[in-house]
Structure 1
Amino acid sequence: MPIYEYQKGGKAHYYYAFEVKDASGERKTIKKRGFTGKKEARAAEAEARVSWEKGNYIDPSTMLYGEYVKNWLANKQDISDQTRATNDGHLKNHIIPEIGQIPLQKVNVTHIEGMVKKLQEKGLAPGTVKKIYNLVQTSFKDAAIKELIVKNPFNLLADGSKPRAKKASVDYWTVDEVREFLGGFEHRLKILFILAIYTGMRRGEILGLRWKDVDFDNGQIRISQILAFKGKIKDGAKTTAGNRSISIPPVVVAELKKHRTVVIQEKWEAKDNYKDNDLVICGKDGRPVSWSNFHKFWIRRLEKAPNLRKIRFHDLRHTCASLLLSAGTHPKIVQELLGHSSIKVTLDLYSHMMPNIQADAVKNLEKMLT
């Protein structure tokens, strides 16, 4: 078998090479480097031979970037369904139209800089531009590891050419705005907003909450599953730190009990058409509330409160943090309630909401020393 060894970084690597004849009878060499084991190289060589004989072989030197990146993303295993769908959209709408028709080995710094400029001219949010840039950068890093390209153009980019995402904006309602919103309507799913404001739970955590995870006697909610992308129920929270217990005040316990009465009534009325998932937030047939229907419901509620500032639903989570911090709650407690991975995340997000902490600390030090 035509497997050859070479040294890279002081370690043995392997490549395959074999000769074939093209349609015109010309001899050419099929070659690929970058394998860390002979077995891997042999398997790839056998696959390349079969592809050549079937007429499906793609020469890396002529492979378009669009072909490469679609295949690379399809074979990527370490991403969620939601991320995959988002990345597919970026490929279709932005990446392939800009650089997809350029041969992989000929994509250069100018092409990357031009793509970034076009994305910015489209009016995309800085965070979105950065995510698209990172996706392309990762694909080229993988191509370099597999030795499909000689040089990675991203290694040649000047710092000034790299897009930067702005710090995530944090908006929130005041106490008066919360009171106006919650006091302005009654609805079978009002509990959804009560949970968001009083607990800071994420959307998926609220939509995936089960009655068995609500401890009425001790005033506790346990986060043990979420409603994920495309209505899938997923065990655990978004992050490891998200798997937590949250204390709820008596007013939330009372609202949950009131909501449970409504759910029991709907279950009785639906009879055999009811799909019992034990969900706190669900349709009248017991099925999960989809992300799209949930978003439409949130927008409708905002439209019916024209005097209120328009914020995102996720900003109700920030509202919870703001109200807790303004009441003097220690940031560590806020971190645990919201399920942040570390207190650094909490402080980075909400330090501007704690202007009195430093002043209070200095005053306390003064009292101790005088």
Structure 2
Amino acid sequence: MPWYEDEKTKTYYFKVNYKEGGKYKQILRRGFRTKKEVKAAMAEVEDQVNKGTFINPSKTPYKVFIEDWLDDKNSSVKPQTLVNYEKLFQNHILPMRENSRGKTVGLGDIEVGWITMRDIQDLYNHLFESKSLSDENIQKCHTLIKASLKQAKKEKMIADNPAEDVDRPTARKKEMQVWTIEEAHQFLKVAAADPLYIVFLLALTTGMRQGEILGLRWKDFDKNTRIISITQILDHKGKNFEVGAKTISGVRPIRLDKDTADTLIRHRTKSREKQMEFADVFEDRDLVVCTRTGGPVSPRNVNRSFDRIVAKINRELQDKRDKGIQVGRDLKKIRFHDLRHTHVTFLIKNRETPQAIAERLGWSDTRMIDNYAHIRPDIQEDVAEAFGQAFYSNGS
């Protein structure tokens, strides 16, 4: 019998002998939980040996292989993207640790040729259970693992890619937080006195990403046509500018409404006055949003200012309640990025076409619209009323 049971571990293993280059060699595989698994694996190896397609699995630890794989990515992905890849590997994919049942999970110490579907699935299960990553980032882990092992197969380190047969983790839908038009104006009214007001206004009226706004230059704005061109972005750390946008489709023109364009022009006048005030230390980088010395504004500072203004609004509302004054409910706490989602809901409410929305937001296609179907139930109410008026008025 070419397969055996290990009495100590209660698992099964097999041996396959073959001849290569005039020398006899042996393939040994261990760790199978059932007779069915060991038989199937042995049959597959024997078939590969007979066809001459057998590849001896690499003994290189996955964490060592990934160092080279990430180095290779230097020339094909943006710096910030590479940083995100490295974080996912170092913090979540490679570390070996115990899950809630005491089983070791993680891929770093496993040899590339010995990574199994079970190893990968156990990692995903742990990430979901521990809630150490969002569902979307767990999906990114799957994409990275699958892509890296695809390269390992190309380099003949493995015969098959085990990640190919692991189902892509499902991203559970979360309720998207957005503001109504009334809430947006409530915020802008208080934010008007803030130095970063133009950042918040552009986010709400254009749907631009934070990095796109902070990377915007005056030469990218044509005041005659009221068109902004997205040609560079500021990275998440607020230190480096990247040519282009987050995606290829993100490089796009965005037309401003007249009120927003006028506000932007007034902002330029004020910026020039500030520039003159700090002329001795100011370095002109042509940035629409900049520090007093002309440098880029940190995304972290934008987020802090945003949260501070929301907190101020709600604090003032509570002060009025304490005085017995009737006021509305608190302004909903959302993230800065949710201003982009808010803009999309305004466009949907305004009956803009999916194609027009996708082009304005810099999406590669219109499927992203599906994520907003549940946000504004009042849209369905409007549709129903419009249909009813048209249908019954024509029938009378």
TM-score, length basis structure 2: 0.70
| Farther-moved stretch of structure 1 (349-358 vs 320-329) | 349-358
Give the C-alpha shift of residue 278 in structure 1.
0.9
Letter in 2 for 1:302: V
CA distance in 2 between partners of 1:284 and 1:228 (Å) = 20
What is the correspondence of 1:307-346 to structure 2 with a 5 Å cutoff?
Answer: 307-345=330-368
Compared with structure 1, are the counterparts of its residues 336 and 272 closer, same or farther at alpha carbon in structure 2 (3 Å cutoff)? same
| 223-232 or 265-274, larger mean C-alpha shift | 223-232
- Equivalent residue letter for 1:87: Y
Against the structure 1 CA distance between its residues 168 and 142, is the aligned structure 2 distance closer, same or farther, given a 3 Å change threshold? farther
Equivalenced residue count is: 311
User: Could you tell me how far 1:70 is from its partner in structure 2?
Assistant: 2.0
Structure 2: 5+ residue stretches without partners:
1-19, 26-55, 96-105, 315-329
User: Deviations for 1:213-232, whole angstroms, at most 9, x for unmatched residues?
Assistant: 22333433232322235432
Q: CA deviation at 1:146?
A: 1.3
Deviation at 1:288, TM superposition (A): 0.9
- Secondary structure, in 3 states, of the residue corresponding to 1:276? coil
Cα pair 2:358 2:365 within 8 Å, conserved: yes
Q: 2:88: which partner in 1?
A: 90
Query: Which among 260, 269, 272 is matched to residue 264 of structure 1?
Result: 272
Q: Deviations over 1:109-163 (max 9, x none)?
A: 2221221122122212211222112211221111112110133222444x4xx42
Q: 1:358 to 1:145 in 2, by over 3 A?
A: farther
What secondary structure does 2:287 align onto? coil
The DSSP-based 3-state class of the residue aligned with 1:85 is helix
Q: 1:126 aligns with which of 112, 135, 145?
A: 135
Where in structure 2 are the equivalents of 1:199-278 lying within 5 Å? 199-230=206-237, 231-278=239-286
Q: 1:286, CA displacement in angstroms?
A: 0.9
CA-CA distance at 1:335 after TM superposition? 2.8
Q: CA deviation at 1:280?
A: 0.8
Q: Deviations over 1:301-329 (max 9, x none)?
A: 33323321111212111212212322333
Q: Conserved in 1, the CA contact under 8 Å of 2:60 and 2:112?
A: yes
Find the partner of 1:171 among 150, 157, 177.
Answer: 177
Identity score, percent:
35
Q: 1:72 to 1:241 in 2, by over 3 A?
A: closer
CA contact (8 A) 1:266 1:285 kept: no
- Residue 276 of structure 1: CA displacement? 0.7
What letter matches 1:219 in structure 2?
A: R
CA change 1:175–1:63 in 2 (3 A) is: same
For residues 213 and 291 of structure 1, what CA distance do their matches in structure 2 show?
Answer: 20
State whether structure 2 residue 370 is matched by structure 1 residue 348. yes
Q: 1:343-364 CA distances to partner (integer Å, 9 max, x unpaired)?
A: 333x323334442576446865
